[in-house]
Amino acid sequence: MKHTNATYIAQTRCWLENVVLKHNLCPFAHKPFKGGQIHFVVTDSARPEFLLEDLQHELEQLRATPVSEVETTLLIHPGTLEDFMEYNDFLDMVDALLEDGGFDGEFQVASFHPDYQFEGTRPNDAENFTNRSPWPMLHLIREDSLAQAIDSYPDVDAIPERNIETMNALGTAHHRQVLETCLQTKKESE
């Protein structure tokens, strides 16, 4: 079912609040969320090459926007790369764009997908839910901001292991229920 952009954003915000922030998966996400500095963008790109163009546009927009206004961007792309393996292969194109487009060292892109699976895990392992979002998504991160956040965080190296422990303790059924609840979120106009 195709939704309005507002609904895709509402579903993503639900996930951000009820997974990422609630379980402190990214301790650096609280400040920009509370400050209204996360830019949510939905693209209707139906092909990977168009999504790559949208990504380049959003990187340029982020570069041109003061960090005080927009800290980070979530580029939600529900109409393309719904297959996780295709999405995972696409990330090589993202890396090439960062390097060839002159964004390397200024931005990095984190990846989220409804079927995200870390190498060496099984599809139903709860730890995969650290990167499972309601819709395929690219997270555009300013490297300067990330470096500042890392410098002020006491034990950044412990974050991944703590996240795995948290997700495993909550279990796969819990995470599926949270994602399903978020996918039921709709804007009134829909």
Note the pLDDT tens digit of each residue in 98-146.
999 999 999 999 999 999 999 999 999 999 999 999 999 999 999 999 8
74 in a domain, yes or no? Answer: yes
Does any domain span residue 58?
A: yes
Contact 97, 56 (CB under 8 A): yes
Whether residue 188 lies inside any domain: the answer is: no
Q: Is 190 inside any structural domain?
A: no
Nearest alpha carbon to residue 14 among 35, 42, 33, 37: 33
Q: Is residue 60 part of a domain?
A: yes
Please check whether residue 75 lies inside any domain of the structure.
Answer: yes
Tell me, yes or no, whether 126 lies in a domain: yes
Domain containing 71 equals 5-34+43-183
In this predicted model, what pLDDT tens digit does every residue of 143-190 receive, in sequence order? 999 888 888 888 888 999 999 999 999 999 999 999 999 999 886 544
The pLDDT of residue 13 is 97
Total tally of structural domains belonging to the chain? 1
Tokens of 65: 């926007």
Strand-pair category, 137-142 with 38-42: unpaired
Residue 147: inside a domain, yes or no?
yes
pLDDT of residue 67: 95
Residue 8 has pLDDT above 60, yes or no: yes
The answer to whether residues 135 and 1 touch, using CB atoms and an 8 Å cutoff, is no
